[in-house]
């Protein structure tokens, strides 16, 4: 989150944005970047799952005598 806030601040400073429309465009760009990173994470996890990586399903275990 801090990275996104720094990116937003740098874009505002770099383009000298003052109007609401400029700020909205920057916010949309930063939000789109965030969603791109998030979706890439989903794809990476799906790839690991498909390869049988760290997301392997283990069978259920029953612990007898424990409540």
8 Å CB contact between 29 and 11 = yes
Q: What is the mean pLDDT of residues 49-64?
A: 65
Residue with tokens 């003052």: 18
Give percent above pLDDT 90 in the chain: 64
Q: Which residue has the higher pLDDT, 50 or 43?
A: 43
Q: Three-state SS for 51? A: coil
| Distance, CA of 36 to CA of 28 (rounded, Å) | 12
pLDDT-derived band at 49, boundaries 50, 70, 90: confident
24/64 Cα distance (integer angstroms) = 59
E-state strands within the chain: none
Q: Is the pLDDT of residue 22 over 90?
A: yes
Residue 52 has pLDDT above 70, yes or no: yes
Asked if 34 contacts 4 with a C-beta cutoff of 8 angstroms, the reply is yes
């Amino acid at each position: 989150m801090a990275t996104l806030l720094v990116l937003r601040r740098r874009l505002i400073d770099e383009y000298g944005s003052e109007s609401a429309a400029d700020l909205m465009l920057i916010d949309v760009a930063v939000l789109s970047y965030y969603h791109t990173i998030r979706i890439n994470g989903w794809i990476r996890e799906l790839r690991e799952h498909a390869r049988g990586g760290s997301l392997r399903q283990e069978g259920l275990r029953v612990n007898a005598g424990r409540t």
